[in-house]
């Protein structure tokens, strides 16, 4: 038996990038991803998505639950003719019987990209340290970059006539969540104006404001952190998120008392926003807490378009982060291996 001279693995990829926060990317790189989203959305509309992930796999690690992130990545891989593996802690040994380092190294040998939703940023960072394929952060309680791509794209789709992204003021209602933090950094990177409107105790930490300051100095963006709900009158986008995460259930009553009713997105609050303002929500939404059903179903709500754009974003991400490593065989190479294997099988 003659063994191949080198292993068919995903090692030593030059120019490989991970996606942990959108803030790691230049404006040009972000624009390229958005342009790719636009092309892929158009192709999906015509039921003609090119098979740009053919023979590739995405390992999807989910330490926490998900509807949109899971379904969008899995469907994106299918549309692009690749494969997605759903890996919950019940299915793999991550961090239990097997170290995160070893998990990252083994998945890198078999899959082309790793998407991870983890319960903390340390796990995601540990995956990036040892992975030899791109790691995509599918939410780690610090950042939610894949949500950001869908959000900026949705804002562009629903931009008031004659306006540009840099003309928009985005208000995030409530807690300084991972989505709030990601929006602060992404909006300021895009030269937009951002406000977090929420009670003082739950406002954005200084550490992230310093990063936003740097973005603002480069792009001319502004931000404001305030507890004054009347500031929605200056905002073109009113953005909602849960008032507590699944790891904060013991704080639920205290949080609800702090946020409700002032920071709930209602029809009346939307009427006080800038003319033509849209309602966005990363979902899942609790229509008894941070947003009313009436507001969520209002004509100015784009929450479902935003959710659908998660699929558009994930298609672009799978392609953007792997296209340089395509190694499609020629017809000649395919025929060579097929003949060799057929010859072996015919002699069994
Ligand atoms: N917005 C979002 O990430 O939704 P899921 O938790 O359902 O993935």
CATH number at residue 257: 3.40.50.1370
Q: By C-alpha distance, which of 13, 85, 3, 50 is closest to 327?
A: 13
Other CB atoms within 10 Å distance of the CB of residue 22: 25
Output the pLDDT for position 94.
Answer: 80
Which atom of ligand 1 is nearest to 139's Cα? 3
Output the pLDDT for position 11.
Answer: 52
In a domain, residue 114? The reply is yes
User: Is residue 133 located within the same domain as residue 30?
Assistant: yes
Dihedral sign (CA 278, 284, 288, 294): positive
Output the pLDDT for position 326.
Answer: 76
User: Is residue 109 located within the same domain as residue 32?
Assistant: yes
In a domain, residue 2? The reply is no
Give the bridge partners for 226, in sequence order: 197
In a domain, residue 47? The reply is yes
C-alpha to C-alpha distances, 312 to 41, 44, 89, 302, 346, nearest whole angstrom: 6, 9, 27, 15, 45
**Which DSSP string corresponds to 207-250?**
HHHHHHHHHHHHH--EEEEES-GGGGGG-SEEEE--SS-GGGGG
User: Is residue 23 located within the same domain as residue 119?
Assistant: yes
User: Is residue 170 located within the same domain as residue 121?
Assistant: no
User: Is residue 86 located within the same domain as residue 180?
Assistant: no
pLDDT tens for 86-126 read 999 888 888 778 999 999 999 999 999 999 999 988 999 99
Pocket test for ligand 1, best of 140, 245, 310 (most atoms within 8 A of CB): 310
Instruction: Report the alpha-carbon distance of residue 201 to residue 175 in Å, rounded.
Output: 9
In a domain, residue 175? The reply is yes
CA atoms within 13 A on the CB side of 19: 30
Q: How far is CA 27 from the centre of its chain?
A: 17
Whole-prediction pTM? 0.95
CB within 6 Å of ligand 1 — which residues? Answer: 66-69, 139, 147, 282-284
User: Is residue 129 located within the same domain as residue 91?
Assistant: yes
Closest CA to ligand 1's atom 6: 66
User: Is residue 11 located within the same domain as residue 65?
Assistant: yes
Pocket test for ligand 1, best of 63, 180, 284 (most atoms within 8 A of CB): 284
Is residue 235 a contact partner of residue 279, using CB atoms and an 8 Å limit?
no
Instruction: Report the alpha-carbon distance of residue 86 to residue 66 in Å, rounded.
Output: 11
In a domain, residue 249? The reply is yes
Main-chain phi, psi angles of 330, to 5 degrees:
-75, 165
In a domain, residue 329? The reply is no
Instruction: Report the alpha-carbon distance of residue 240 to residue 278 in Å, rounded.
Output: 11
Domain membership of residue 258 as a residue range: 159-301
User: Is residue 297 located within the same domain as residue 312?
Assistant: no
CA atoms within 13 A on the CB side of 314: 30
Tell the residue number behind the tokens 């909602």, with chain if given: 240
User: Is residue 54 located within the same domain as residue 117?
Assistant: yes
- Tokens standing for residue 239: 């953005």
User: Is residue 129 located within the same domain as residue 180?
Assistant: no
Low-confidence ranges of the chain (pLDDT < 50): none
Burial of 156 from C-beta contacts in 10 A (0-12 / 13-18 / 19+): middle
User: Is residue 122 located within the same domain as residue 33?
Assistant: yes
In a domain, residue 267? The reply is yes
User: Is residue 208 located within the same domain as residue 259?
Assistant: yes
Is residue 199 a contact partner of residue 227, using CB atoms and an 8 Å limit?
yes
In a domain, residue 41? The reply is yes
> How many domains does one find in the chain?
2
Q: Where are the strands (E) in 83-128, listed by range?
A: 83-87, 113-117
pLDDT tens for 218-256 read 999 999 999 999 999 999 999 999 999 888 899 999 999
Q: How far is CA 251 from the centre of its chain?
A: 26
């Amino acid at each position: 038996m003659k063994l191949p001279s080198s292993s068919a693995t995903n090692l030593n990829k030059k120019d490989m990038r991970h996606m942990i926060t959108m803030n790691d990317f230049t404006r040009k790189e972000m624009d390229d991803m958005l342009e790719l989203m636009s092309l892929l959305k158009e192709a999906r509309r015509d039921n003609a998505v090119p098979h740009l992930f053919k023979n590739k796999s995405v390992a999807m690690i989910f330490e926490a639950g998900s509807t949109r992130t899971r379904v969008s990545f899995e469907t994106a891989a299918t549309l692009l003719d690749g494969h997605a593996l759903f890996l919950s802690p019940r299915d793999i040994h991550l961090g239990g019987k097997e170290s995160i380092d070893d998990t990252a190294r083994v998945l890198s040998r078999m899959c082309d990209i790793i998407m991870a939703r983890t319960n903390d940023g340390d796990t995601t960072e540990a995956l990036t340290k040892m992975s030899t394929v791109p790691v995509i952060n599918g939410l780690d309680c610090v950042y939610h970059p894949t949500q950001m791509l869908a959000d900026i794209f949705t804002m562009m789709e629903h931009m008031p006539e004659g306006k540009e992204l840099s003309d928009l003021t985005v208000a995030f209602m409530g807690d300084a969540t991972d989505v709030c933090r990601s929006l602060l950094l992404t909006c300021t990177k895009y030269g937009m104006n951002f406000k977090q409107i929420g009670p003082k105790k739950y406002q954005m930490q200084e550490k992230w404001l310093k990063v936003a300051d740097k973005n603002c100095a480069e792009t001319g963006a502004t931000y404001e952190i305030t507890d004054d709900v009347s500031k929605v009158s200056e905002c073109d986008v009113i953005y909602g998120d849960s008032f507590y995460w699944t790891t904060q259930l013991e704080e639920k009553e205290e949080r609800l008392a702090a946020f409700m009713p002032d920071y709930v997105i209602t029809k009346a609050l939307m009427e006080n926003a800038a003319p033509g303002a849209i309602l966005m929500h990363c979902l899942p939404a609790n229509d008894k807490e941070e947003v009313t059903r009436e507001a969520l179903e209002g004509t100015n709500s784009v929450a479902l378009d935003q959710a659908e754009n998660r699929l558009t974003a994930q298609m672009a991400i799978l392609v953007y982060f792997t296209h340089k490593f395509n190694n499609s065989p020629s017809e000649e190479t395919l025929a060579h291996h097929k003949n060799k294997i057929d010859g072996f099988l015919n002699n069994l």
